[in-house]
Structure formats: C-alpha cells, structure tokens
C-alpha cells in the first residue's frame, strides 16, 4: 500500500485505544523516534464506536461499545486532559436509585451500600428482597469466618461463595461480572480482576469489615467524585483525537499478516504484500491474533497466548418516544441475572444515564447480549435479536409500538476472559518475551479504558527508555 514507510523505530499493530495511546505518548515523549500504527479496519478506535443519529429534528449519540469509564482510576481522565478534551467530560447522571435488578420476574431496587460483592450498610441490606433471609444470614457469617487459606488465585465465584455464600454469587457477583467481563464468575480470576478483595480479607479477616473500612476512609476525603464519566460527543471522541494527533503515522486499512525476526529487530508483512522493518513492535490486538503473528524468536509463547479465552458479546440500541415506555424503571440500569434465564444480560436507559444522548421527549435504550451466559444470541441474525429485544422491553418496561430506529453491534471473541491463573501465565509470558516485543491492550492487564491507558503509558515509557536515539531518522537525513 502507498504511504507505508520501509522502516521505523517502532511499529504498532492495532489502532484501538491501546495502540493509539502507546503511539501518541511515544510521539510526545520521544519525537526523535519514527513510528507507525497499522490498523486493519478503515477507522481507528477498535471497540470504541459512537454514532450520531439525526432523527425527528434532534440528535442521538449511540454507543456500540463502551459508553463510559471509571473516573476513580486517573489514567483515562489524564489522557483526556492531555489531549485538551477535559471540557468534553460528561458525568453519569446522579440518581439516588440508579440500578434495578430482576429477581423472580420482579424488578427490585439494587440495594444501596453494596460494594462490589458485599453489603456495607445494614438497613438496606436487611430490607432488600434480593437476598433471602437464609442468604442474608449466610452473608453475615463473613464477619465470623476466619480469612481463607486459599493460596494463590481462585475464581471470583469461589471467593464470593467462600466468604458470602451462593446467593451472593448468583444475585450479586454473577450479574456484576456479566456486566463488566461478559464472563462466567466460576472462571474469572480474582487476582487479575479484583485483587484488593483478597487483600481486604487478609487484612481485616472479613470482606464486609474490609469494605466498610475502605468506605469510611474514602468518606474522610469528602464527597466522592462521579464514579463513571463519558465524553459529550461519545466515547469515540477519544480515539479520534488521538488519531488526529498521530496524522500520517497512523495507517488504516492495513492488515498485518505475519512478522519475522530481522537483525536486531523485526519485519512486518501486510496482507497486501508490503513489508516494514522495525526495531521494536507493539502488539495492540487481541490475544488470539497476537498468537498467530509472533516472529520465530517468540513462537514458543504462541500456545500460551493463543490459549487465552475470550467471550463474544453485543449491544442493541433502540429509540422510542418517552410515552411508548409505559412502565419506566426508576434509574438508568436494569440488571438481568443469569438465574432469571433471559435472552439479555442488562438494559441501560442511555438517555437517563446521560440526558445528552437523546433529544427531549425520546428514550434511548441499550440491551446487552451474548457473553458466557447466552452465547446463542450471538449467532442469531439481527432481526431475531431485534424481535427478542422487543419482546423483552415490552414485558419488562411496558414498551408499546415499534422503535423509531435501532442499531446493533457485535463483538465476536471481543471480551478477554482472565481465567484463574492469568497473572501467573502473564508473568511466564513476560519472562520469555524477546526484547523489543510489547503486549498492549485489553487482553493482558485490565479490560477497562483507564487500565488500558495505564498499561499503554507504561509500554511507551519502557520503549522510550530502551531505545537509543533513532537510527531510522538518521538514515533518512543522510
């Protein structure tokens, strides 16, 4: 393809948030280095996709993938500030009762004071019908049980069951995990996702006591900042801003099809028969693709990387007039636990979560499907998923009539699943990774947007520190 350099200092494969962030940080910190980002699709941003839909004289913002990020982890917000987009930040609407949950076909309020998997406030916990009385008694036993003797990693389900009992797994941990990881809590590693829960158990002898202490400590710091934030014109403004800064260093429509070792560096080959030599390479693509693109010097890692699991998920957004929703829920989220056996995992009332996402008088809903729990929906065609969704919102929210428009997004094998033992596997992979090869993105150390930015910053720092002044630019100047 025209416009590809013959050689660069650093080649980055994949222009999702990870690849773009590594590239921009490098561009900022080491302007002497030459870089190229190669992206298979025609648009950068990977899973982050926002669409502005003009309808009935107003504008909707429809998110295909992420619609917000955790503001308490500072790295994404810092990146947004560094890009000059700080004034675009959009906090999630503040509501007393943000989330509801379905139990036995009834919509009930998510009890306030639940922190991750355990209650931290007594009254709402005692009052909630989400957990049965025997279930509550079992959860309270966490206060008496000694810290567990599990050495090393365990699944989130195993940990929650051990401390709090099966109801905490079925009605709290499972829906939480389905929302964040689209994964089965029986498989997901505690160490790789919520390591601080284990640390709290060890420090306080009880998860409930530990979470309460954390909450008390935080309350001394004053009122909490908004938990989740987004960007006014949609999450895609972030990769778009990064891509604009990268300019000619970003090449879209270029699929990397193989990588070989070459001298002290590597050579990348594209699907259209071009090649680029580089001193270092960053794989900012899913694990399964990374496994097929390793050079000979890293081939032994292919099996371990290729064995990493991922689940498939999708979202369906539906636009209705407000009056079509005859039984609105009180907040912006309805969680549908696996035990309820529904076709969808959750419903977000996007236009309540962020009023700016739909014109006045309109409700924008987003339904989540697929994941570990309902993989069959992923293979159903769009019309079938739409029919299922219309039935679901009719039954749960009393929706009448047809949506004014709808958008469906699918992410086949798009959600990395950190199985038990993930961190030990990663340590082994990192140990054997040849010098000059870097792994960035959701597959390795955190799927959330702030964690991806953190890892990408670290990789850019590592590359910046390890590469002496550019040889490639010297050659170009001769």
Ligand X SMILES: Cc1cc2nc3c(=O)[nH]c(=O)nc-3n(C[C@H](O)[C@H](O)[C@H](O)COP(=O)(O)OP(=O)(O)OC[C@H]3O[C@@H](n4cnc5c(N)ncnc54)[C@H](O)[C@@H]3O)c2cc1C
Nearer to ligand X, 139 or 449 (CB): 449
| Residue 314 CB, nearest approach to ligand X (Å) | 7
Piece in contact with ligand X (CB under 6 A), picked from 14-22, 139-147, 318-326, 352-360: 14-22
Piece in contact with ligand X (CB under 6 A), picked from 24-32, 352-360, 440-448, 458-466: 440-448
What span, in angstroms and rounded, lies between the C-alpha atoms of 392 and 307?
35
Contact call for residues 279 and 414 (beta carbons, < 8 A): no
Q: Which residues 6+ apart lie within 8 Å of 384 measured at CB? A: none
| Residue 139 CB, nearest approach to ligand X (Å) | 28
Q: Is 415 in the site for ligand X (CB under 6 A)?
A: yes
Secondary structure of the chain: what % helix, strand, coil (to 5)? 40, 25, 35
Cα 15 to Cα 96, 117, 141, 257, distances in angstroms: 38, 34, 48, 15
Q: Is 414 in the site for ligand X (CB under 6 A)?
A: yes
C-alpha dihedral sign at 376, 382, 387, 389 = positive
Contact call for residues 125 and 113 (beta carbons, < 8 A): yes
350 three-class SS: helix
Piece in contact with ligand X (CB under 6 A), picked from 43-51, 85-93, 147-155, 272-280: 43-51
| Residue 68 CB, nearest approach to ligand X (Å) | 5
| Residue 231 CB, nearest approach to ligand X (Å) | 12
Phi-psi label, residue 436: left if phi above 0, alpha if psi -120 to 50, beta otherwise: left
List the structure tokens of 341. Answer: 């056996």
Nearer to ligand X, 158 or 255 (CB): 255
Contact flags string 299-318 toward ligand X, x per CB under 6 A:
--------------x-x---
Q: Which residues 6+ apart lie within 8 Å of 168 measured at CB? A: 117, 118, 131, 135, 138, 139, 160, 161
For the purposes of burial, counting CB atoms within 10 Å of the CB of 133, is it exposed (0-12), middle (13-18) or buried (19 or more)?
Answer: exposed
Q: Is 265 in the site for ligand X (CB under 6 A)?
A: no
Q: Is 48 in the site for ligand X (CB under 6 A)?
A: yes
Q: Is 176 in the site for ligand X (CB under 6 A)?
A: no
Q: Is 255 in the site for ligand X (CB under 6 A)?
A: yes
Cα 352 to Cα 132, 332, 420, distances in angstroms: 30, 5, 36
Piece in contact with ligand X (CB under 6 A), picked from 105-113, 163-171, 278-286, 318-326: 278-286
Q: Is 183 in the site for ligand X (CB under 6 A)?
A: no
Q: Is 371 in the site for ligand X (CB under 6 A)?
A: no
Find tokens 């900022």 and name the residue. 28
How many residues make up the chain in this entry? Answer: 478
Q: Is 111 in the site for ligand X (CB under 6 A)?
A: no
Query: In this chain, which of 10, 35, 243, 284 binds ligand X, going by CB under 6 A?
Result: 284
Piece in contact with ligand X (CB under 6 A), picked from 36-44, 121-129, 243-251, 397-405: 36-44
What span, in angstroms and rounded, lies between the C-alpha atoms of 120 and 115?
7
What span, in angstroms and rounded, lies between the C-alpha atoms of 372 and 261?
37
Query: In this chain, which of 234, 333, 436, 448 binds ligand X, going by CB under 6 A?
Result: 448
Query: In this chain, which of 25, 30, 47, 77 binds ligand X, going by CB under 6 A?
Result: 47
Nearer to ligand X, 33 or 268 (CB): 268
Piece in contact with ligand X (CB under 6 A), picked from 16-24, 115-123, 339-347, 390-398: 16-24
| Residue 202 CB, nearest approach to ligand X (Å) | 28
For the purposes of burial, counting CB atoms within 10 Å of the CB of 258, is it exposed (0-12), middle (13-18) or buried (19 or more)?
Answer: middle
Angle at 27 between CA 21 and CA 31, to 5 degrees: 165
Piece in contact with ligand X (CB under 6 A), picked from 41-49, 82-90, 240-248, 334-342: 41-49
Query: In this chain, which of 4, 27, 29, 41 binds ligand X, going by CB under 6 A?
Result: 41
Cα 103 to Cα 125, 160, 365, 459, distances in angstroms: 15, 19, 21, 44
What span, in angstroms and rounded, lies between the C-alpha atoms of 44 and 51?
14
Nearer to ligand X, 37 or 164 (CB): 37
Q: Please work out the total of residues on this chain that contact ligand X, with binding judged by CB under 6 A.
A: 36
| Residue 46 CB, nearest approach to ligand X (Å) | 2
Query: In this chain, which of 10, 11, 18, 367 binds ligand X, going by CB under 6 A?
Result: 18
Q: Which residues bind to ligand X, rule: CB under 6 A? A: 13-19, 38-41, 46-48, 65-69, 255-256, 284-286, 289, 313, 315, 411, 414-415, 441-442, 447-449, 452
């Amino acid at each position: 393809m025209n416009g590809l350099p013959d050689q660069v200092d650093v080649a980055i494969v994949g222009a999702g948030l990870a690849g773009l962030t590594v590239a921009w940080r490098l561009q900022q910190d080491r302007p002497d280095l030459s870089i190229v980002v190669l992206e298979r699709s025609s648009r950068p941003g990977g899973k982050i996709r926002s669409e502005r839909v003009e309808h009935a004289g107003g504008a909707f913002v429809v998110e295909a993938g992420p619609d917000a990020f955790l503001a308490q982890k500072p790295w994404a917000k810092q990146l947004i500030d560094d890009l000059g987009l700080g004034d675009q930040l959009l906090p999630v609407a503040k509501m007393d009762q943000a989330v509801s949950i379905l139990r036995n076909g009834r919509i009930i309020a998510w009890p306030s004071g639940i922190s991750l998997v355990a209650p931290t406030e007594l009254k709402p916990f005692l009052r909630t019908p989400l957990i049965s009385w025997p279930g509550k008694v079992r959860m309270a036993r966490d206060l008496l049980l000694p810290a567990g003797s599990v050495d090393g990693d365990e699944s989130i389900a195993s940990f929650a069951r051990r401390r709090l009992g099966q109801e905490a797994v079925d009605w709290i941990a499972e829906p939480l995990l389905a929302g964040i990881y689209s994964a089965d809590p029986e498989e997901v590693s505690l160490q790789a996702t919520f390591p601080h829960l284990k640390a709290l158990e060890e420090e306080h002898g009880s998860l409930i006591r530990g979470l309460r202490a954390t909450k008390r400590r935080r309350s001394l710091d004053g009122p909490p900042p908004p938990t989740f934030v987004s960007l006014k014109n949609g999450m895609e403004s972030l990769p778009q801003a990064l891509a604009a800064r990268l300019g000619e260093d970003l090449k879209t429509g270029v699929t990397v099809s193989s990588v070989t070792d070459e001298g002290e560096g590597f050579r990348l080959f594209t699907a259209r028969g071009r090649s680029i030599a580089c001193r270092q390479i960053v794989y900012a693509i899913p694990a399964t693709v990374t496994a097929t693109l390793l050079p000979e010097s890293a081939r032994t890692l292919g099996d371990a990387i290729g064995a990493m699991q991922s689940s498939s998920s999708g979202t369906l957004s539906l636009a209705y007039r407000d009056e079509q929703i005859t039984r609105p829920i009180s907040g912006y989220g309805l969680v549908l636990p696996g035990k309820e056996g529904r076709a969808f995992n959750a419903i977000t009332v996007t236009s309540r979560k962020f009023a700016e996402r739909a014109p006045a008088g309109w409700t924008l809903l987003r339904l989540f499907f697929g994941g570990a729990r309902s993989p069959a929906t992923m293979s159903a065609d769009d019309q079938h998923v739409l029919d299922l969704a219309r039935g679901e919102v009719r039954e749960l929210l009393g929706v009448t009539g047809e949506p004014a428009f709808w958008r469906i997004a699918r992410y086949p094998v798009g959600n990395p699943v950190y199985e038990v033992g993930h961190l030990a596997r990663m340590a082994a992979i990192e140990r054997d990774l040849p010098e000059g090869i870097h792994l960035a993105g959701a597959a390795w150390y955190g799927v959330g947007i702030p964690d991806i930015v953190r890892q990408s910053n670290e990789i850019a720092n590592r590359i910046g520190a390890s590469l002496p002044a550019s040889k490639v630019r010297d050659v170009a100047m001769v």
